[in-house]
């Protein structure tokens, strides 16, 4: 979807993509919640519609009537300003609204949104801004649909496939090398008129000491050395919280790794496959990533270091027509780190904190990002499951340090 | 289904009833588990088939091939002798096997079972016995389908209906009176050739002091007095464990009671309805039942007292053709307690212990009942959700004292 | 202490015994709570005084002033009628009141109680009755002091001794034989003017089928066969709840058994000692006892069976002058089961339920026993830690089926 | 204690101070653990001795024999490289080793340490360094003794006093003003030969935007506005994790605040006292501090901002002879923030992360700080309970964001 497309075109494309993602899933698949952190597909489809209904239609269209009064609570994720929320951990108890009810809800919201967006370019700025936010929001949930479905199917002893042909991280065949950066004052953060979340702002200067960044993410082969060295049971490599986490949950490999007889397999969206040594390691927690870096005599990069490196990589020209992001070829051309975008999210050493001068958006939408600035760690770059138009160098993703069901890997720094 | 029907006829009737019970439910409804004690409808449908496959077909039919090797674990409830079991609390994580897969499984088992049962009367005795056990087992799960679906829909803020027209407890309009029984040696427990579970055996003598039994179950109107007297917050009426249970869970009314404005409503299988004062109270735990009895200056009957009274009530002639049990009219004729069968399960004062001389069945089927003789309380009589042919005076139902999602009420004694 | 002693003499003897039990313990030892089920020695010493203060002095002595107003809450165990209780699980957080404060409290209560009891025989009946109850109550806490101290020291990696010379269960050297009892109507329960708890009343008839009782408790040697057969990991022997309990807590031997190199040791009140094969096994839960009985092809006796056997054993003449109960010699004389009293508490097959016609005492003292009649199992006989004058054939002790820190063993029946 | 004192003099002074802190406490007081985060005083006294025994005597004195082999495990806090550790949450179960045993342990270690230190100036550098580290370590535990005792006594319904006359935060009577700092590159972190922990190193440059710091900490009067505005129940002011924390624990005021009738009191080391409006607020968590700052239209300072301000305040000349730190007068002289040191620890906006170029110490002592760099927030400045010689501008204290039993307050920035 080219960036000059009209808002209506973009709306239709993003909404259609969500439904395309749900297409391989039965009503049963879409109803189940495999853990409190994950949500049923059906819920994602409804919640993203609720977002447009609540923040665009109800807030901005005179006379708009709610599709169903109970949905205000059922599909509110965490917006306290909007009112009560249905308990997150119980989203999987809802056989009703059915898949068909949710489809009707989406269709209703789409009709009203499309009628509104057809007025472009006479839309007021708030409608444009919130609709754009809603599309970015829905793209985030598109990635969550994939991660949550992968988790749900991965808990099933039958190890079912979602579908074949989904993008996967590209193999990191090249030997690891180090790319150097000189010390100095650098600017990071978002500036300009393009869309960005409030937490990417404001752009600001940071002073960085000289550092080196690995030319590619850590691979499965490299991670196997960690496993085989017994490092999961050796506290010397871990933070205290990380080691307690790994021991109490008997963690001894990345999520979705399966040992069958003497070989390692990995559960993918296409079902179980033999582990490929040269793929980037994926589905590790920050605790594991940090421990690996220590084991490897290195460290995780800070988010500022990562962004400084990423700004030198040409991004905009590499948007794949497929709707996914494949800028790898060009990245490999020079002395630039490769695979920064679109393979695995890369854990950084940086806790999620506000940038100097950060101001949350006003009103309920101020709850979008700011209130999560505690106990979470920053990931950068975007994964194979991230919509391509959603990826940019300033993007700040964040999860708790024990989360591993995201497409999360790591890159070393020193 | 008349008791002289052939085993094949009975097999077909019972199996068809399970599917009829599932008919109003969508695939989504059938996949969800609302708490660890409950199971998805789909799982009940599969597990009852697994029972026939494991204990009749695999054990007794040469050359039988399992429908799917993974089902041996997935649909084993608690038979350690058969092998591993899939974790009970995670039955709701299984979108696959799908509803259609389970239907195919049932059809496969039915074909094999029917081919076998057509050989009657040349079947060996073990096949007859285990098939009969399997049919009684499936009847138990038919009641569980209703209780578990009621719970699942009852957790849903939309309060959906299962379907209208399901049997409900009959109103207990008559004033409560007391029916007296003299002291003496009495026999309880099952004797004879009819089917009974091992835990109903052997028949044996007990000495009972004189006692009186209430002529009918406790009604909603009577229970309201308990609620309105603040008895849920007054430890004087409760066992210590019961009061701690009620306080820690903020229990202040039977399950499914809803206060709307100033009126009491109750969630039923047909959706929310105004509370009917003269219905038997239902969905109370043993803790609540025991506390109510103390509050009312009475006590719960022992299971021996209950059975002595029930043996005087004509049961066999009152099997309703509908497939449910409605012997109420005749029971009201004389000085007999009424509504002993087929309204609500009645909590007794008796913990679930083995009868003198009890012997569990041999092999894996010995796990059916015996290993649960700890920490559970006996209920007697059968509810409106119990298949009529499954009800008999010697029947011992049992649940933990905090369970309230069953159709459980009480009758007073003194 | 002869039973014809005056109430004042008995009061002084019982109170002195409590302090004698605390004598080997430092202030630190007396302050610590090793688990929520156990209490600090200091708390036992204060609570037993609170009992006399609350139910005798405050209730019956005009103008009595409380020693300290906060003690009403701090040392109330579970009497809701008296008012609030300090949280049981936090009794070990109280460094104050200090050991010295508690000693002063005891001395104050003793002065007032002794002044009152000196008026005998002009005391009113309620004072006599409640004082007698208070002395029996304090005897119960004397056993709890020993069990709780044993637990507290047993949690300590240094495995300290309490003191040498405490009574231990006598060795059960004789081969096990079976003593038969004919079927018939028998009377159990307390009748007469001697002291008994309300839960031992009323005496009543029960019909018992013929049964046999083992001539002595199960020994350590016999239990070792259970351990060495891998029975702790074999679900075939266990109730479902029992097996889940043992697995989730990794239970594989009685409490206080320690394997050192290739030998079994046991932590005793005198510190670690080699396991003596012929001692009665002790510190097993009901779950374990029930599983062992099944493993041994037998069962636990009901409390009625146990009491019928115990009534034939001469008890009264065997009160040892030592203050402990050693009636073993005479019991071994004939075809009587031996070691029924004063070695280990014997788990029975009977849940703790009210006797027919049971009435709890009026007022707050009605909370003493009745409200615990849920989820607990009966033990009979008394242990080496039970004061001799506290032992009688009708005595009903009760604990939850997972409790094992009491001096609890078992005897087989069939 | 002047900084030019010999190591032996400093050793004696620090060790004596620990015992002086324990002096008001009974053996019972010293044995109890009020929560898993806190430790018994007795354990602190033993662990600080274990530190010298393990890292100085055992590591560096030929032929040194351990005082007691079990103490290696019992008093190891978290040094995995040294071996196993006794479970932290069970430190309060240890009545033995007794208070007297611990005193003997301390005396033994002191004799050996003093014999060693008398060899100064001929000590090898490692002994000097590790002894200095051990003294700083013991000073940290001196503050913990006070915080943990305050917590233990604060849980006691009798609200006992530790002792009168302990230092308290000085009143912050002056109206709040703002002190401005220009943007620019600044240096923070420790450089030079004086003692500092590894986590204060290396000194490094950071770029700071212009900021303002409040002239004094937030006061009780100001915090009362937050309480009385209902801000504890208004999610608008809180991070998501913080609000969930406050709601789930029913937090509605700082720890140790007590409402009696209509007045606020506060539990202090001297017992309950009326809340003083002008004292710095103390015993708030990071969650509360962050919420308050948002409520007040401000934010917490970063640790870099705090340190830049603190470096301008003269510290060294203000060491009070009392052994505590009272540099307030001089700080108030100019346009400098006051009360940066020695009143309350000040929560910052900075998570605890490694400084650029951080290297943990080699060997077991590398576990001292580095492995805790996850999930914790930085506090700066030192409290009234911190030994004066332990306070410096570069000092980084850290606790989890829900911790509130430390002497923790806050200062606003913007």
Summarize pLDDT for B322-377 with one digit per residue, the tens.
444 444 433 434 578 999 999 999 999 999 999 999 999 888 999 999 999 999 99
Q: Does D245 touch chain A (CB under 8 A)?
A: no
The pLDDT of residue C240 is: 97
CB D371, CB A240: distance < 8 Å: yes
d(Cα C58, Cα C56) in Å, to the nearest integer? 6
Q: Do D32 and C31 touch (CB under 8 A)?
A: yes
CA distance C267 to chain B (A): 29
Report the residue from C206, C242, C371 with minimal CB separation from B238: C371
Mutate to test the interface with B, among C77, C374, C377 (most CBs of B within 10 A): C374
Task: Determine whether the interchain pair B290/C374 forms a contact, defined as Cβ–Cβ distance below 8 Å.
Answer: yes
Question: Which residues on D lie below 8 Å from A402 (Cβ)?
Answer: none
Helix (H) or strand (E) holding C105: helix C99-117
Among residues of chain D, what percentage have pLDDT more than 70? Answer: 94
Q: Does B87 touch chain C (CB under 8 A)?
A: no
- Output C333 or B262, whichever has higher pLDDT: B262
Residue D313 has pLDDT above 90, yes or no: no
Region of B297 on the Ramachandran plot (φ > 0 left; ψ -120 to 50 alpha; else beta)? left
Q: Is A98–B157 a contact, with Cβ atoms under 8 angstroms apart?
A: no
3-state secondary structure of D397: strand
**Interface contact B350, partner C, CB < 8 A:** yes
Cβ-in-10-Å burial (0-12, 13-18, 19+) of C68 comes to middle
Average pLDDT score over chain B: 93
CB pairs B-C closer than 8 Å: 78
Which of chain C's residues have a Cβ under 8 Å away from the Cβ of B80?
235-236, 243
pLDDT of amino acid D389 = 94
Residue at token pair 């995780």: A300
Give the residue, B231 or A320, on which the prediction is more confident: B231
pLDDT in tens, D102-116: 999 999 999 999 999
Question: Which residues share a beta bridge with B258?
Answer: B265
Q: Residue B351: list chain C partners with CB under 8 A.
A: 351, 353
Please give, rounded to a whole number of angstroms, the shortest distance from the CA of B371 to a CA of chain C: 4
CA–CA separation, B149 vs B116, rounded Å? 32
Q: Which of B207-216, C307-316, D182-191 is the least confident region?
A: C307-316
Q: Does C270 touch chain D (CB under 8 A)?
A: no
CA distance D378 to D391: 15
Q: Is the pLDDT at C327 greater than 80, yes or no?
A: no
pLDDT, tens only, B85-100: 999 999 999 999 999 9
pLDDT tens for each residue of C149-197: 999 999 999 999 999 999 999 987 789 999 999 999 999 999 999 999 9
Average pLDDT over residues B228-253: 97
Q: Which pLDDT score is estimated for C174?
A: 85
Cβ–Cβ contacts within 10 Å for residue D61, how many?
15
Which residues of chain A register pLDDT less than 50? 316-333
Which chain B residues are within 8 Å of A96, Cβ to Cβ?
28-29, 153, 156, 158, 160
> What's the pLDDT score for residue A414?
96
Chains that touch D (3 or more CB pairs under 8 A): A, C
| A207/D209 CB distance under 8 A | no
Q: How far is A224 from chain B, CA to nearest CA, in Å?
A: 30
- Read off the tokens for B312: 């005087």
CB contact under 8 A, A26 and B98: yes
D172: pLDDT confidence band, cut at 50, 70 and 90?
confident
Strand, helix or coil for residue D378:
strand
> Looking at C226-230, C334-338, D246-250, which range is the least confident one?
C334-338
Q: Judge: A93–B157 Cβ closer than 8 Å, yes or no.
A: no
Q: Say if residue B158 is exposed, middle or buried (CB neighbours under 10 Å; 0-12, 13-18, 19+).
A: middle
What residues have CB less than 8 Å from B9, skipping those under 6 apart? B1
Half-sphere exposure (Cβ direction) of A8: Cα atoms closer than 13 Å: 13
Distance to chain B for C262, nearest Cα, Å = 31
List the chains bordering chain B where 3 or more Cβ pairs fall under 8 Å.
Answer: A, C
- Rounded to whole angstroms, the Cα distance separating D321 from C76 reads 49
CA angle D12, D14, D15 (to 5 degrees): 65
Alpha-carbon gap: A272 to the closest alpha carbon of chain D (Å): 34
Please report, rounded to a whole number, the percentage of residues in chain B having pLDDT higher than 90: 90
Q: Does A79 touch chain D (CB under 8 A)?
A: no
Chain-chain contact of D375 with A238 (C-beta, under 8 angstroms): no
Query: Does C373 contact B at CB distance below 8 Å?
Result: yes
Q: Of the candidates B26, B94, B157, which has its C-beta nearest A156's C-beta?
A: B94
Instruction: Select the residue of C30, C90, C158 nearest D96 (Cβ to Cβ).
Output: C158
Tell me whether C185 touches chain B (CB under 8 Å).
yes
C160 interfacial to chain D (CB closer than 8 Å): yes
CB contact under 8 A, B239 and C207: no
**D117-144, pLDDT tens digit by residue?**
999 889 999 999 999 999 999 999 999 9
Chains B and A touch (3+ CB pairs under 8 A): yes
Is the minimum CB–CB distance between D354 and chain A shorter than 8 Å? Answer: yes
Chain D within 8 Å of C40 (Cβ-Cβ)? no
**Contact state of A28 with B29 under an 8 Å Cβ cutoff:** no
Cβ atoms of C53 and C110 closer than 8 Å? no
Cβ of D34 within 8 Å of Cβ of C152? The answer is no
Pick from B241, B243, B357: which is nearest to C209 by CB?
A: B357
Q: Tell me if chain C has a CB within 8 Å of the CB of D98.
A: yes
At least 3 CB pairs under 8 A between chains C and A? no
Q: Does B27 touch chain A (CB under 8 A)?
A: yes
* C28·D90 Cβ contact <8 A: no
For residue C2, what pLDDT is reported? 53
pLDDT for residue C316 is more than 90: no
Mind telling me how many Å the CA of D96 is from chain C's nearest CA? 8
pLDDT the model gives residue D349 = 98
pLDDT at C5: 82
A374 CB within 8 Å of a chain D CB: yes
- The model's confidence at residue B223, banded by pLDDT at 50, 70 and 90, is very high
> Percent of chain D beyond pLDDT 90?
90
- Tell me, yes or no, if D398 comes closer than 8 A to chain A by beta carbon: no
Least confident of A105-114, B3-12, B162-171, B311-320: B311-320
Of C32, C95, C155, nearest to D29 by CB-CB distance is: C95
Residues 285-324 of A with CB under 8 A from D: 286-287, 290, 299
Q: Cis (ω within 30 of 0) for the bond into C410?
A: no
Q: Judge whether residue C329 has pLDDT over 60.
A: no
CB contacts of A74 in chain B (<8 Å) are: 157
Considering Cα of B151, then B153, then B154, then B155, what sign does the dihedral take? positive
Closest to B88 measured CA to CA, from B148, B150, B153, B159: B148
Whether the bond into C392 is cis, omega within 30 of 0: no
Query: Mean pLDDT, chain D, as a whole number?
Result: 93
Q: What is the pTM of this model?
A: 0.95
**Does B69 contact chain A (CB < 8 Å)?**
no
pLDDT in tens, C191-221: 999 999 999 999 999 999 999 999 999 999 9
Higher pLDDT, D314 or B168: B168
The helix-helix angle for C7-22 and C125-155 (nearest 10°) equals 10
Q: How far is Cα A375 from Cα D287, in angstroms, rounded to an integer?
A: 11
On chain A, the residues whose CB falls within 8 A of the CB of D239 are 371-374
Q: Is B244 on the interface with A (CB under 8 A)?
A: no
């Amino acid at each position: 979807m080219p960036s000059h497309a009209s808002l209506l075109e973009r709306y239709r494309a993003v909404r259609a993509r969500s439904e395309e993602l749900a297409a391989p899933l039965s009503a049963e698949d879409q109803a189940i919640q495999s853990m409190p952190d994950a949500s049923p597909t059906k819920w994602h489809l409804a919640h993203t519609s609720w977002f447009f209904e609540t923040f665009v239609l109800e807030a901005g269209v005179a006379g708009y009537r709610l599709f169903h009064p109970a949905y205000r609570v059922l599909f509110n994720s965490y917006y306290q300003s909007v009112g009560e929320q249905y308990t997150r951990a119980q989203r999987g108890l809802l056989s009703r609204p059915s898949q068909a009810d949710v489809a009707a809800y989406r269709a209703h919201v789409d009709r009203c949104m499309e009628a509104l967006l057809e007025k472009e370019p006479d839309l007021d700025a708030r409608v444009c801004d919130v609709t754009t936010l809603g599309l970015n929001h829905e793209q985030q949930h598109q990635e969550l649909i994939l991660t949550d479905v992968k988790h749900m199917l991965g808990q099933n002893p039958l190890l079912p496939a979602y579908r074949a042909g989904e993008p996967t991280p590209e193999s990191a065949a090249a030997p690891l090398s180090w790319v150097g950066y000189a010390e100095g004052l650098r600017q990071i953060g978002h500036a300009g008129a393009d869309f960005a979340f409030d937490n990417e702002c404001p752009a600001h200067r940071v002073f960085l000491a000289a550092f080196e960044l690995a030319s590619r993410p850590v691979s499965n082969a490299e991670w196997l050395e960690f496993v085989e060295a017994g490092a999961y049971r050796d506290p010397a490599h871990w933070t205290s919280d990380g080691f307690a986490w790994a021991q109490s949950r008997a963690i001894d490999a990345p999520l979705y790794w399966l040992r069958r007889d003497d070989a390692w397999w990995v559960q993918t969206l296409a079902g179980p496959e033999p582990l490929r040594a040269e793929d980037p390691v994926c589905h590790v927690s920050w605790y594991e990533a940090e421990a690996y870096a220590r084991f490897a005599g290195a460290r995780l990069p800070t988010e500022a270091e990562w962004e400084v490196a990423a700004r030198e990589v040409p991004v905009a020209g590499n948007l794949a027509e497929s709707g996914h992001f494949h800028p790898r070829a060009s990245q490999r051309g020079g002395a630039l780190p490769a695979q920064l975008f679109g393979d695995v999210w890369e854990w950084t050493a940086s806790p999620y904190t506000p940038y100097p001068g950060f101001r949350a958006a006003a009103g309920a939408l101020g709850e979008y990002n700011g209130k999560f600035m505690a106990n979470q760690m920053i990931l950068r770059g975007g994964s194979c499951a991230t919509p391509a138009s959603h990826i940019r160098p300033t993007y700040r993703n964040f999860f708790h340090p024990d989360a591993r069901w995201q497409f999360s890997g790591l890159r070393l720094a020193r």
